[in-house]
Chain A
Amino acid sequence: MDLTYTAEEEEFRARLRDWLGTVLPKLPPRPDPLDWPGRRAYDTGWQRLLYDAGYADVHWDASPTQRLIFLEETERAGAPYVGANFVGLLHAGPTIAAEGTEEQRARWLPGVLSGDEVWCQGFSEPDAGSDLASLRTRAVRDGDAYVVTGSKIWTSHAEVADWCELLVRTDPDAPKHRGISWLAMPMTSPGITVRPLRTLAGSTEFAEMFLDEVRVPVGNRVGAENDGWRVTMVTLSFERGTAFVGEVVACRRTLGELARAARENGSWDDPVIRRRLGRLAAEFAALWRLTQWNVSEAQASGGVPGVGGSVFKLQYSHARQELYDMAAEVLGPDALDLGQEWNVDRLSSLSYTIAAGTSQIQRNIVAERILGLPKGR
């Protein structure tokens, strides 16, 4: 049980902290969440700054501990979040890095790292949300291309993306988990129609996508044909395992701000509110320690996070929603003012128990894959 960082790691932290201290004050304010093209420009601009300073590959090429330090420091400094680069940096990128060929890595990873190419996620379908493997978008081989027809929904960042990580059915006769392939689809391909969906927070961070005989080169397939489910599980372990880690630091900062607000408006004197804030602080502190535990495990097993990510994701997503409910209680009537940032964040946090596998699906994963309980209903 060792929680101390090496001198080398501390040096990395100090260097990063210095750099953040010089670049952050020069950054313009982030555009309104309703302005996706503006957000894309802003988020990719930030990614370019990281790239030029040599920090861009920290999401998957650095050691898990360095990634932890990176997320901790960027969140602590209030640096921009990955935003429009989320899918590229935290999903498609790590998946290509882990499962792609040398040529595929060379083709796609630089664009992801520099922020020049934005990715979207084409996983969910109208009849296949939590039951992801029952997807029906089909890809039929025609010479050196797949001809793809079907539709996707909740396609994150589709409006502004250059590439899509797309799950398609390449063998309709195989058992449902076995006939799937993972494709990188250019969003400029003829036959793609994107229709933005408005979230309950008012933004359009995801969209419906219709695919009508879209031709995708066979060389854009990552992993073997019909082996896409395994590749997808690698992607999802990144999503559940590490993608939300930095946000725990952000939540702890928010909790500190909330305690200050409570002291100022007098609600701190209510022992019920004070004690609930204390309990939440204990939960977020423990979540951070759980992250360090998971990272230690991942470091020892070669970098891909295990199912322990589901334990983290379950607890984190609920604690985050509880945090914003507490904010509403502390703020009183101000909780209804969307001009205040935490009220917008409160709306956004409602997706956390649904996205990347609902809490119910996560509990099934924990029960079946960690505890070994039988599959069933």
Chain B
Amino acid sequence: MDFRLTEDQKALRAGVRELLARRFDRDALRAAVDAGGTLDRALWRELGAAGFFALRLPEEAGGVGLGLPEAVLLFEEAGRALLPGPLIATHLAAGEVPGAAEGEVVVTARDGALVEWLDAADVVLGETGEAVPVRSVDPLTPLHRVPSAAGTAVSVAPRAGAAALLSAAEQLGSASATTDMAVAYAKDRIQFGQAIGGFQAVKHLCAGMLVRTELARAAVYAAAVTADPVEIAGAKLLADEAAVRGARDCLQVHGGMGFTWEADVHLHLKRAWVRAERWMPAAAAEEAVAAAL
């Protein structure tokens, strides 16, 4: 047993982080916010060319031939960078919807009453006939709501576990990013003649963020290895909590700055709220874990 990342996995993570830093840095993020949630097709194709969607397809089918643990590392980086778009649905559709694997086709899927990026998508999985637009809380996740009576609820049901796990990985990346942001700000911001990170009240907020993040990391990575449905449910639960509470605490550490549009904290919090509501929300995850007791 050696639970640590292998050298190949570390290289993959570094490669993705480098790609996203180059192609979707902070300026690109803020430009995307200003553009009001339109999908960058060129970036989507670049992600496809880098193997983002075909990662788990076998090599003979033109894929990269890697597994869930590697996909989790990829989506963790996407979550850290706040990369927008229906990444999970397109990743899951690779190999089944032509063009998805290459990033030529954008695929979205209905999950419960919600569907994201409906207008931007080429292919929609699940019935969305009566969908009405929602003024989404997250400026980078356009949402539609489907009336509860309409059609199939979860279209990617056979892979709902994978969707929940990849969503948990994104939450993990976001939790990790907000922890880093809070720590950096706490080292930098001077009040009462010293860096606020020297105050125990601030220190303890940051420590709590790290503890929740590392607990979620252990759960998400292990669930990626075992692919056990109960473990995936637990991982989603803890990752949702790490991301949502992490972003809230990060906002608190930023003080007045945290409440402004120009700080990035709110973007993490809002996306974390969206992810927490989708692909196995807390109630479903808790019931799934409890049922196995």
Contact = CB atoms under 8 A, between A and B. Distances in A.
B287 A290 contact: no
A147 B291 CA distance: 61
Contact of B187 (A275, A370, A374): A374
B218 to A, nearest CB: 4
A276 B207 CA distance: 24
Contacts, number: 169
A311 B218 CA distance: 12
Given A275-B286, A278-B290, A377 B1 contact: no
Interface string A228-242: 000000000000000
A277 B215 contact: no
A289 B2 contact: no
A286 B234 contact: yes
Given A311-B211, A371-B206, A373-B183, A278 B226 contact: no
Contacts of A65: 1
A259 B290 contact: yes
A362 B215 CA distance: 16
A372 B211 contact: no
Contacts of A377: 198-200
B53 interface: no
Contact of A373 (B206, B216, B283): B206
The 8 closest A-B pairs by CB, nearest first: A376-B198, A278-B290, A282-B234, A278-B286, A259-B293, A373-B197, A286-B219, A367-B203
A370 B183 CA distance: 11
B4 A1 contact: yes
B222 interface: yes
A370 B210 contact: yes
A248 to B, nearest CB: 12
Interface in A1-54: 1-6, 9
Size bin of chain A's contact surface: 35 or more
B225 interface: yes
Interface in B170-194: 179, 183, 186-187, 194
Contact of A366 (B3, B210, B219, B235): B210
Contacts of A57: none
A287 B204 contact: no
A367 B225 contact: no
Interface of B: 1-6, 9, 69, 179, 183, 186-187, 194-195, 197-200, 202-204, 206-208, 210-211, 214-219, 221-222, 224-226, 230-231, 233-235, 237-238, 283, 285-293
B33 to A, nearest CB: 28
B204 A283 contact: no
Given A290-B214, A376-B198, 20 more contacts: A1-B6, A1-B221, A2-B2, A2-B225, A3-B1, A274-B286, A286-B234, A289-B221, A300-B2, A311-B211, A360-B204, A366-B211, A367-B203, A371-B183, A373-B202, A373-B203, A374-B195, A374-B197, A376-B197, A376-B200
Contacts of B215: 283, 286-287, 290, 311, 315
Nearest to B198: A376
Contact of A368 (B202, B203, B230): B203
Given A1-B221, A281-B293, A366-B207, A286 B238 contact: yes
Interface centre among B2, B200, B235 (most CB of A within 10 A): B2
B293 A286 contact: no
B289 A282 contact: yes
Nearest to A319: B215
Contacts of B203: 363-364, 367-368, 373
A232 to B, nearest CB: 22
A315 B1 contact: no
B237 A282 contact: yes
Q: Is the interface of B mostly helix, strand, loop or mixed?
A: helix
B286 A2 contact: no
B187 to A, nearest CB: 7
Interface in A245-289: 255-256, 259, 271, 274-279, 281-283, 285-287, 289
B200 A282 contact: no
A264 to B, nearest CB: 13
Contacts of A367: 197, 203-204, 206-207
A363 B207 contact: yes
A371 B3 contact: no
10 contacts: A1-B6, A2-B6, A259-B290, A278-B285, A286-B215, A286-B235, A290-B218, A300-B2, A372-B187, A376-B194
Contact of A286 (B3, B200, B218): B218
A315 B211 contact: yes
Contacts of B5: 1
A1 B3 contact: yes
A344 to B, nearest CB: 23
A134 interface: no
A299 interface: yes
A341 to B, nearest CB: 19
A375 interface: yes
Contact of A374 (B194, B218, B293): B194
A3 B200 contact: no
B4 A3 contact: no
